[in-house]
Amino acid sequence: MRITINEIREMKQRKEKIPMLTAYDYVTAKVVDEAGVPLILVGDSLGMVMLGYESTIPVTIDEMIHHTKAVVKGAKQALIVGDMPFMTYHSSVSDALHNAARFIQEGGAQAVKLEGGEVVAEQVRRLVDCGIPVMGHIGVTPQSQHQLGGFKARGKVLEEAKKLLIDARILEEAGAFAVVLECTPAPLSELITQKLAIPTIGIGAGPDCDGQVQVISDMLGLYTDFVPKHAKQYARLAGEIKTAVSSYISEVESVNFPTMENSYTMDKGLIKQLSAES
């Protein structure tokens, strides 16, 4: 049985920490799911780590749904959250409904994630009213990087901290089942977590959030161009993959691979007959 938003809420009530990871393809989702992660985010970060874009902004909804489908097929237990890309929910409530419905109907996701607080509250409320679970996202919101002036921690000054607390409460009131806090000071994240009845999921937001989310490529050491401050590399697979590929190249060139152990055989008499006839 797949985990539900009610079970995620109950984890907060029981004071159980909530681990969340991104996944963008079938194989990764299958492994992450089998490891027991209860929440998987098909993040628009796939723009950088899967498609080679410079930011999340060029990611299209068709690309997101394509990857969401693959993740849903791979993960049988985790709750799958689809990340709604840039300008697919900002223009109108109607656009938000149409595009969120695509994530649920076409992609197979069980929830969607929207960036922003008060500015998207109406969209969040309407989606929830129509039966689409919503995860909020405040703090550093990558889709707003041009307006925010880059990826700097948010909430260090009083007015900004007040605004984030207000936004978190508004998202809760609008019906969001959880909210991501990205790159917000740990003391502020702790306060927001205490004030909300819904779970907070931190990324660069300190240890006191109800849960944590990381980009799988950062966590596994696959994406080495840049390692964010908030990331911890639990493995360094990029180096191991390069070593494996180098060994493969060497063995192919030296005719040490494949051997007969890796090959199929047949009756030698058939080969003699075929050779004679040709």
How many angstroms separate the CA atoms of 57 and 147, rounded?
A: 12
User: Is 240 part of the annotated catalytic residue set?
Assistant: no
Contacts for 147 with CB less than 8 Å, ≥ 6 apart? none
DSSP codes joined into one string, 66-80: HHHHHHHHH-SSSEE
Contacts of 129 (CB under 8 A, 6+ apart): 175
Please give the C-alpha separations between residue 110 and each of 33, 35, 122, 143, in angstroms, as whole numbers.
15, 20, 20, 22
* Residue 232: Cβ-neighbour burial (10 angstroms; 0-12, 13-18, 19+): exposed
CA 117 to chain centre: 20
- DSSP H helices, 175-262, are 186-195, 216-219, 237-253
Compute the distance between CA of residue 238 and CA of residue 248 in angstroms, rounded to an integer. Answer: 15
Instruction: Give the span between the Cα atoms of 181 and 208, in whole angstroms.
Output: 11
Helix (H) or strand (E) holding 135: strand 134-139
CB 99 within 8 A of CB 89: yes
Which of 37-46 are b and which e, b meaning 16 or more Cβ less than 10 Å from the residue's Cβ?
bbbbbbbbbb
Q: Which of 182, 190, 251, 253 is catalytic?
A: 182
Enumerate the active-site residues. 182
